[in-house]
Structure 1
Protein backbone atom coordinates (compact mmCIF):
# COMPACT_ATOMS: atom_id res chain seq x y z
CA UNK A 1 0.00 0.00 0.00
CA UNK A 2 1.69 3.20 -1.10
CA UNK A 3 -0.34 5.29 1.35
CA UNK A 4 1.22 3.65 4.41
CA UNK A 5 3.14 6.18 6.44
CA UNK A 6 1.53 9.18 4.75
CA UNK A 7 -2.03 9.19 6.09
CA UNK A 8 -3.76 9.32 9.47
CA UNK A 9 -4.60 6.17 11.47
CA UNK A 10 -8.32 6.62 10.72
CA UNK A 11 -7.66 6.98 7.01
CA UNK A 12 -5.43 3.91 6.84
CA UNK A 13 -8.07 1.86 8.67
CA UNK A 14 -10.69 3.03 6.17
CA UNK A 15 -8.44 2.27 3.18
CA UNK A 16 -7.88 -1.27 4.39
CA UNK A 17 -11.55 -1.81 5.18
CA UNK A 18 -11.05 -2.19 8.93
CA UNK A 19 -12.96 0.92 10.03
CA UNK A 20 -16.63 0.46 10.91
CA UNK A 21 -18.98 3.03 9.48
CA UNK A 22 -22.32 4.23 10.71
CA UNK A 23 -25.35 2.43 9.25
CA UNK A 24 -28.05 3.94 11.47
CA UNK A 25 -31.54 4.66 10.23
CA UNK A 26 -34.82 5.73 11.76
CA UNK A 27 -35.35 2.32 13.37
CA UNK A 28 -31.85 0.90 13.63
CA UNK A 29 -29.26 2.47 15.89
CA UNK A 30 -25.85 1.39 17.06
CA UNK A 31 -25.18 -1.03 14.22
CA UNK A 32 -21.78 -0.63 12.64
CA UNK A 33 -20.58 -2.44 9.56
CA UNK A 34 -17.16 -2.98 8.09
CA UNK A 35 -17.34 -2.88 4.32
CA UNK A 36 -15.21 -1.60 1.49
CA UNK A 37 -11.50 -1.15 1.41
CA UNK A 38 -8.99 -3.43 -0.21
CA UNK A 39 -10.05 -7.04 0.11
CA UNK A 40 -6.59 -8.62 -0.31
CA UNK A 41 -5.01 -6.28 2.21
CA UNK A 42 -7.81 -6.94 4.69
CA UNK A 43 -7.39 -10.71 4.31
CA UNK A 44 -3.63 -10.46 4.76
CA UNK A 45 -4.08 -8.31 7.87
CA UNK A 46 -6.57 -10.82 9.29
CA UNK A 47 -4.01 -13.61 8.94
CA UNK A 48 -1.26 -11.37 10.33
CA UNK A 49 -3.49 -10.55 13.30
CA UNK A 50 -3.95 -14.26 14.03
CA UNK A 51 -0.17 -14.72 14.02
CA UNK A 52 0.36 -11.59 16.14
CA UNK A 53 -2.11 -12.84 18.74
CA UNK A 54 -0.19 -16.10 19.02
CA UNK A 55 3.33 -14.66 19.07
CA UNK A 56 3.22 -11.13 20.50
CA UNK A 57 2.30 -10.59 24.13
CA UNK A 58 1.33 -7.00 23.30
CA UNK A 59 -1.33 -8.06 20.79
CA UNK A 60 -2.40 -11.07 22.88
CA UNK A 61 -3.11 -8.77 25.83
CA UNK A 62 -5.10 -6.42 23.59
CA UNK A 63 -7.06 -9.38 22.17
CA UNK A 64 -7.84 -10.69 25.66
CA UNK A 65 -9.01 -7.23 26.75
CA UNK A 66 -11.44 -7.01 23.83
CA UNK A 67 -12.69 -10.56 24.46
CA UNK A 68 -13.24 -9.75 28.14
CA UNK A 69 -15.70 -7.06 27.09
CA UNK A 70 -17.87 -9.91 25.75
CA UNK A 71 -16.96 -9.27 22.12
CA UNK A 72 -17.03 -12.10 19.62
CA UNK A 73 -13.70 -13.67 18.68
CA UNK A 74 -13.79 -12.35 15.10
CA UNK A 75 -14.58 -8.83 16.32
CA UNK A 76 -11.53 -9.00 18.58
CA UNK A 77 -9.35 -10.29 15.72
CA UNK A 78 -10.45 -7.40 13.50
CA UNK A 79 -9.63 -5.00 16.36
CA UNK A 80 -6.14 -6.51 16.52
CA UNK A 81 -5.80 -6.19 12.73
CA UNK A 82 -6.73 -2.52 12.94
CA UNK A 83 -4.21 -1.99 15.75
CA UNK A 84 -1.59 -3.82 13.67
CA UNK A 85 -2.10 -1.59 10.61
CA UNK A 86 -2.06 1.49 12.85
CA UNK A 87 1.26 0.39 14.36
CA UNK A 88 2.69 -0.33 10.89
CA UNK A 89 1.57 3.10 9.69
CA UNK A 90 3.23 4.79 12.68
CA UNK A 91 6.42 2.77 12.18
CA UNK A 92 6.70 3.92 8.57
CA UNK A 93 5.88 7.52 9.51
CA UNK A 94 8.61 7.70 12.15
CA UNK A 95 11.02 5.29 10.43
CA UNK A 96 11.35 3.04 13.49
CA UNK A 97 11.55 -0.71 13.95
CA UNK A 98 8.91 -2.83 15.69
CA UNK A 99 9.47 -3.22 19.41
CA UNK A 100 7.92 -6.19 21.15
Structure 2
Protein backbone atom coordinates (compact mmCIF):
# COMPACT_ATOMS: atom_id res chain seq x y z
CA UNK A 1 0.00 0.00 0.00
CA UNK A 2 1.10 3.54 -0.78
CA UNK A 3 0.07 6.07 1.86
CA UNK A 4 -0.20 9.69 0.78
CA UNK A 5 -0.44 12.38 3.44
CA UNK A 6 -2.24 15.57 2.45
CA UNK A 7 -1.68 18.80 4.39
CA UNK A 8 -4.62 21.16 3.94
CA UNK A 9 -5.93 24.31 5.57
CA UNK A 10 -9.30 23.16 6.90
CA UNK A 11 -10.11 26.14 9.15
CA UNK A 12 -10.14 29.91 8.84
CA UNK A 13 -10.18 32.13 5.75
CA UNK A 14 -8.27 29.64 3.57
CA UNK A 15 -10.63 26.77 4.44
CA UNK A 16 -12.36 26.73 1.06
CA UNK A 17 -9.01 26.34 -0.68
CA UNK A 18 -8.02 23.48 1.60
CA UNK A 19 -11.35 21.75 1.05
CA UNK A 20 -10.95 22.16 -2.71
CA UNK A 21 -7.48 20.62 -2.46
CA UNK A 22 -8.85 17.63 -0.56
CA UNK A 23 -11.64 17.13 -3.11
CA UNK A 24 -9.15 17.44 -5.96
CA UNK A 25 -6.87 14.79 -4.46
CA UNK A 26 -9.83 12.49 -3.83
CA UNK A 27 -11.09 12.95 -7.40
CA UNK A 28 -7.65 12.28 -8.89
CA UNK A 29 -7.21 9.12 -6.85
CA UNK A 30 -10.75 7.96 -7.62
CA UNK A 31 -10.04 8.33 -11.34
CA UNK A 32 -7.37 5.66 -10.92
CA UNK A 33 -9.44 3.57 -8.48
CA UNK A 34 -7.11 4.53 -5.63
CA UNK A 35 -4.31 2.52 -7.29
CA UNK A 36 -0.76 3.47 -8.29
CA UNK A 37 1.98 1.23 -9.63
CA UNK A 38 -0.30 -1.75 -9.07
CA UNK A 39 -0.70 -0.96 -5.36
CA UNK A 40 -3.65 0.42 -3.42
CA UNK A 41 -3.39 4.05 -2.32
CA UNK A 42 -4.61 5.43 0.99
CA UNK A 43 -5.08 9.19 1.42
CA UNK A 44 -4.59 10.54 4.95
CA UNK A 45 -5.63 14.16 5.51
CA UNK A 46 -4.37 16.51 8.21
CA UNK A 47 -5.34 20.12 8.85
CA UNK A 48 -2.75 22.85 9.25
CA UNK A 49 -4.80 25.93 10.23
CA UNK A 50 -2.56 27.87 7.79
CA UNK A 51 0.10 28.01 10.53
CA UNK A 52 3.65 26.84 9.94
CA UNK A 53 4.10 25.13 13.31
CA UNK A 54 0.80 23.26 12.89
CA UNK A 55 1.86 22.15 9.42
CA UNK A 56 5.15 20.76 10.74
CA UNK A 57 3.35 18.92 13.56
CA UNK A 58 0.82 17.52 11.09
CA UNK A 59 3.64 16.37 8.78
CA UNK A 60 5.36 14.65 11.71
CA UNK A 61 2.10 12.89 12.55
CA UNK A 62 1.65 11.76 8.95
CA UNK A 63 5.13 10.23 8.93
CA UNK A 64 5.51 8.96 12.50
CA UNK A 65 1.96 7.83 13.31
CA UNK A 66 0.38 7.19 9.91
CA UNK A 67 3.51 5.90 8.14
CA UNK A 68 2.83 7.95 5.00
CA UNK A 69 5.23 7.44 2.12
CA UNK A 70 4.88 10.96 0.77
CA UNK A 71 3.29 14.24 1.77
CA UNK A 72 1.49 16.70 -0.48
CA UNK A 73 0.97 20.31 0.58
CA UNK A 74 0.65 22.77 2.23
CA UNK A 75 -1.07 25.88 0.88
CA UNK A 76 0.48 29.00 2.41
CA UNK A 77 4.00 30.35 2.35
CA UNK A 78 4.39 30.20 6.14
CA UNK A 79 3.44 26.55 6.07
CA UNK A 80 5.73 25.92 3.11
CA UNK A 81 8.73 27.37 4.93
CA UNK A 82 8.00 25.23 7.99
CA UNK A 83 7.63 22.09 5.86
CA UNK A 84 10.85 22.89 3.99
CA UNK A 85 12.73 22.97 7.28
CA UNK A 86 10.97 19.82 8.51
CA UNK A 87 11.74 17.99 5.26
CA UNK A 88 15.46 18.62 5.76
CA UNK A 89 15.20 16.47 8.89
CA UNK A 90 13.40 13.69 7.00
CA UNK A 91 15.43 13.12 3.81
CA UNK A 92 13.99 9.61 3.44
CA UNK A 93 10.48 10.93 2.67
CA UNK A 94 9.05 12.71 -0.34
CA UNK A 95 7.46 16.13 0.09
CA UNK A 96 5.48 17.72 -2.75
CA UNK A 97 4.71 21.41 -2.32
CA UNK A 98 3.59 22.84 -5.62
CA UNK A 99 1.80 26.10 -4.89
CA UNK A 100 2.56 27.60 -1.49
CA UNK A 101 2.27 31.38 -1.58
CA UNK A 102 2.42 34.31 0.79
CA UNK A 103 -0.58 35.06 2.97
CA UNK A 104 0.08 38.80 2.75
TM-score by length of 1: 0.29
TM-score, reference length from structure 2: 0.28
Q: Determine which structure has the larger strand proportion and give its number.
A: 2
Q: Which has the higher helix share?
A: 1
